[in-house]
Structure 1
């Protein structure tokens, strides 16, 4: 059970226990029984919320079926949909983690990840906090003119850093965002390793088949999981033509 659910139950117990004592001193078994029923209903409501929290569904939208063959070393985005089953993000805060491993070495959920990128949502909102988006990225994309409010609605993971730690902007493991119904994660393959990044992976993503594993995690609990394969290489069927 999540911390917020445990805190809610304890708060209800303290508050309602005080009501029970007051009612009992006033005399009246009916009132006492009524309060017991309220306690049971409240705890049942919290338990029901815990069960609903496990119903989160995530799906991978990109790379799509038409985007699953990339040139060696390319960067790519993992973009997906979040279905929260009617709950608000603040009611069910969780992070998105993306692991990339060689497909042939993934066995029964066990793997040796070559890339791991995780979001760090605000536990009060369930979303990537605005303070962790670096809006002052002057001189890098001068052709883009997007307001701060509009940019925060769909922030690119490239701009994520840890507030208060300017150097963390270059950490490739932080490049993930979570919004109300979407997530987006940047995976670096190696081609941009000399551009505004502390890229320190021992190997670039070469010509192999890789498994993308996306998990929604709350603490050490996995709420949902989605997978897709992507190949770095070339396809045999090519069309050569003069233009």
Structure 2
């Protein structure tokens, strides 16, 4: 089916959609409105300069004939300012929705997740690279893509419908106005104010859900931004079983400038003023937290900047459930997000002690294991007290170190070349004799899926297992972190006293 311009088919639209229009008009009189702005959500109306963003609305009820939609962006805090963006949909007048023939379904730069009805893929009229046609309308939602400048060299003419170059969206306040032009949405108008300015973000992984919730809570308390709306180029519609479409070369640059804005032509934002916090929990090489957000911080040498804060859980986990070895009572412990101390790059968060345990648990944590009896010590400043032959697991977290990064095939996504990769241990007896040495990797795996052996590794955390000496007495564990080049990392040195008690005195 060909895409038809609403101006040519307007009479047909009125005939076919006349009943819904009348109903909507009556509903409007009673205060019922179908046209809403779901995203940008109320908590995410602040963007980095030159950010692209979606204007996205989920209709409260499924519409039979939604109709065409116009999306405009005006400079200033009302729609009376200069219009800087104009987008319009071109729906099929028979259905009031964007026909599949207007969608590029074989887009080489995208990843189909089962729903191609996204604004990024609108190709008619005007072609795939025309930014003014980037509005899609379905029976359940509408979505428009507004380009801000960060991806203006990627798959777009970056020109308005008169052929003039678009102006980048730099620091300031703007007003979104969405207008229904026909069908069920005819005559409805909704507006929202957004601002562009400095980066001020809190990053971290979403797994497990409690870590995401803690990030949201921490961000609210400390007035930091988090991004839960879909980044441009990353659209997953929950109403269709989390199906959607991703465009990595659009999504990653937009994500990156919310960490460190390195775009030319910004007015107030730059790498030097980037303000970032990042939770060092469950980060691996495949995560966006690693490849986009942390790597951007390291690319510009901001790991020790006063505006960069690395956070960790003081117990090593957002929550712990276990059976206490002495009382037999199940304990539930909540971890608190805590800033890494200045000049410190390695912290021991807790030790778990098991009596006569023979299970291999090196660099493994099972959050579902709440029945194995153990003793847990969260305050290691006074050392460890243990019985002869017991198993002890030292958990801890390391802080990122200065590192170069390598580019990947996706703009603004990198690999990191250096980190604390190994921790060396020496165990000394009370006479200073070296009785044990080992080197352990920093790579903790968590078994988040109950009953499964699937491991989710974290390259900044560890859990190292030791068996206590058989002879009672006072010992010392000396440790330090080693980077990928084999060099000792300053700020990782630690000396921990260990008391091995005689069973009779316990």
What TM-score bracket applies, with the shorter chain setting the length? 0.5 to 0.7
The normalised TM-score by structure 1 is: 0.67
Post-superposition offset of 1:5: 8.3
Q: How does 1:184-199 map to 2 (within 5 A)?
A: 184-199=143-158
Provide the residue aligned with 1:62 in structure 2. 39
Distance in 1, Cα, partners of 2:37 & 2:77: 20
Distance in 2, Cα, partners of 1:191 & 1:47: 42
Q: Please give the secondary structure, in 2, of the residue aligned with 1:213.
A: strand
Distance in 1, Cα, partners of 2:123 & 2:13: 29
Instruction: Give the number of the structure whose alpha-carbon radius of gyration is greater.
Output: 2
**Could you tell me which of 125, 128, 131 is aligned with 1:172?**
131
Q: How does 1:43-192 map to 2 (within 5 A)?
A: 50-54=21-25, 55=27, 57-83=34-60, 88-89=64-65, 93-104=66-77, 106-107=79-80, 111-138=81-108, 140-141=109-110, 144-146=111-113, 150-152=114-116, 155-162=117-124, 168-192=127-151
| Shift in CA distance, 51/186, structure 1 to aligned 2, threshold 3 Å | same
Unaligned runs of 5+ in 2: 1-9, 28-32, 160-164, 201-222, 224-274, 278-306, 311-398, 400-506
- Would you say 1:216 and 2:180 are equivalent positions? yes
Distance in 1, Cα, partners of 2:182 & 2:173: 29
| Shift in CA distance, 129/7, structure 1 to aligned 2, threshold 3 Å | closer
CA contact (8 A) 1:5 1:50 kept: no
Provide the residue aligned with 1:41 in structure 2. none
CA contact (8 A) 1:105 1:112 kept: no
Post-superposition offset of 1:68: 0.9
Greater RCO, CA 8 A, separation 6+: 1
**Count of residue correspondences:** 186
Distance in 2, Cα, partners of 1:158 & 1:234: 26
Larger relative helix fraction = 1
Unaligned runs of 5+ in 1: 9-45
**Aligned residues: CA RMSD:** 2.9
- Would you say 1:205 and 2:169 are equivalent positions? yes
Post-superposition offset of 1:82: 2.6
Distance in 1, Cα, partners of 2:148 & 2:24: 34
